[in-house]
């Protein structure tokens, strides 16, 4: 199976990331274990989570996803087969958030404990913290890398200018450089990434692992109308896509699906994988059946006409 490097590092990943946001949210631990087992059994190796997953669910406090992953690592003995990514910085309650050095050094210990591991392969700033000097944040990561608790670092939800500045500060002060970027990017949500972030990713050779790769399920074709989104876990996120451009995008996906006999989810992910700056899209699955369309995307090579049709249908 083909692999790609994460940024300038020597970490090799199969170019599909399993999103851990659903663990402890829309699926319980036993179902999560089945999904994780199936993912690794097929030779895939990159899993992404965050300390804050899934604090938004009533009764949760954050850390639920990491805890389930830690339980799975202990049960399955597969930690050495996985490139593990998690994040720090989002609001964990009780004023626990941000990218100050003291907080990062405390929060990484909580993540390591929940994950039942001694190191994190990719530790990411979940969002920019303009109240903390960039140098201070990077010094925290330098300490963790020196201690062997983190291998490389990445940024999520940064603007292009701030990401550029963070990389320049790191180089000026001989501090760890962000190797990856995790932005929102999919066949519909294109403009911010393509205009602001893609040039930065290309300039600094960043590994790009976009989230919401399937637009909260919209690009899978499971929602035919706005009414179909009502009462669903991500329904509120999906409603916005049902405009003229969104419908044109779905029509193009449906047409190509009929021509290739591939699922719409596979096609949407394959389009992402064909974009020159994209390393591996993140996608979640709530069942082993859903994984199949994700797996298929890695080997699906869309021809030029299909890629152009999708790009034009979703043009902003």
Catalytic residues: 53
Q: How far apart are CA 169 and CA 150, in angstroms?
A: 20
CA atoms of 45 and 79, how far apart (whole Å): 10
Instruction: Give the helix/strand (H/E) hosting 41.
Output: helix 29-41
How many Å apart are CA 161 and CA 197, to the nearest integer?
9
Identify the three-state secondary structure at position 46.
Answer: strand
- What letter would DSSP give residue 195? I
Helix (H) or strand (E) holding 19, with range, is strand 17-19
Side by side, the strands of the sheet bearing 17-19 are 207-208, 180-182, 150-156, 120-125, 83-88, 46-48, 17-19, 282-283
Start-to-end C-alpha separation, the chain: 34
Question: Which residues, at least 6 apart from 288, have a Cβ–Cβ distance to it below 8 Å?
Answer: 34, 35, 38
């Amino acid at each position: 199976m083909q692999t790609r490097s994460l940024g300038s590092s020597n970490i090799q990943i199969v170019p599909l990331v399993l999103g851990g946001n659903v663990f402890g949210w829309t699926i319980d631990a036993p179902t999560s274990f089945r999904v994780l087992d199936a993912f690794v059994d097929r030779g895939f190796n990159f899993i992404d989570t965050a300390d804050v997953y899934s604090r938004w669910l009533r009764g949760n406090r954050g850390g639920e996803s990491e805890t389930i992953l830690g339980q799975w690592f202990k049960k399955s003995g597969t930690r050495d087969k996985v490139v593990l990514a998690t994040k720090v910085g989002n609001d964990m309650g009780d004023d626990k958030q941000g990218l100050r050095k003291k907080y990062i050094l405390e929060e990484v210990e909580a993540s390591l404990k929940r994950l039942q591991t001694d190191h994190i392969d990719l530790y990411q700033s979940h969002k920019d913290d303009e109240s903390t000097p960039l140098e201070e944040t990077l010094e925290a990561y330098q300490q963790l890398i020196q201690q062997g608790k983190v291998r490389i670092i990445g940024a999520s939800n940064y603007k292009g200018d701030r990401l550029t500045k963070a990389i320049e500060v790191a180089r000026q002060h001989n501090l760890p450089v962000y190797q990856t970027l995790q932005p929102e990017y999919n066949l519909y949500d294109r403009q911010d990434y393509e205009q602001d972030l893609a040039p930065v990713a290309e300039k600094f050779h960043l590994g790009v692992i976009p989230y919401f790769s399937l637009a909260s399920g919209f690009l899978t074709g499971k929602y035919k109308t706005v009414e179909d989104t009502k009462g669903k876990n991500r329904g509120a996120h999906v409603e916005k896509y049902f405009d003229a451009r969104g419908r044109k995008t779905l029509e193009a996906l449906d047409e190509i699906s009929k021509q290739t006999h591939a699922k719409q989810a596979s096609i949407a992910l394959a389009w992402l994988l064909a974009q020159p700056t994209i390393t591996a899209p993140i996608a979640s699955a709530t069942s082993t059946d859903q994984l199949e369309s994700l797996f298929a995307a890695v080997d699906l090579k869309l021809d030029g006409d299909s890629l152009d049709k999708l790009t034009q249908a979703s043009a902003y």
